[in-house]
Amino acid sequence: MALEEFEKEQLNDREKGYVRMRSIMDYGMGILWTGMGVFIIFIKKFSMDMAESYDSTPFKIFGAVCIVYGSFRIYRGFKKKYLRDR
């Protein structure tokens, strides 16, 4: 069976439910990670008390990494390639 034939193969109901569940989870976690990254980068806009202790370069870098990872999770939820390795 060629790879193209495998990708066109229809999924059963259980596999469709699994793909839907993973996709929703990836969207949700992607939004949470991206939101956390935005909060960390723009912490001065949200809380002045926290900005004094958490406004440094390593936190800004961690915020950027959170945004990149959140974007990746959203992309992975959009692509839905969960059962390709089986």
pLDDT tens, residue order, the chain (86 aa): 454 555 566 778 888 888 889 899 999 999 999 999 999 999 888 887 877 877 788 989 999 999 999 999 999 888 887 766 55
Name the nearest CA neighbour of 6 among 84, 82, 76, 79.
84
- Please name the residue that has the structure tokens 């002045």: 48
* pLDDT value of position 84: 62
What distance in Å separates the CA atoms of residue 17 and residue 25, rounded to the nearest whole number?
Answer: 12
pTM of this structure: 0.76
* Angle, alpha carbons 8-13-16 (nearest 5°): 60
Structural tokens at position 21 = 């569940």
Task: Confirm whether 66 is domain-assigned.
Answer: yes
How many structural domains does the chain have? 1
Note down the domain range covering 63: 30-81
Task: Confirm whether 23 is domain-assigned.
Answer: no
Task: Confirm whether 58 is domain-assigned.
Answer: yes
- Please name the residue that has the structure tokens 């406004």: 55
Task: Confirm whether 14 is domain-assigned.
Answer: no
* pLDDT value of position 6: 52
Name the nearest CA neighbour of 39 among 55, 27, 57.
55
Task: Confirm whether 2 is domain-assigned.
Answer: no
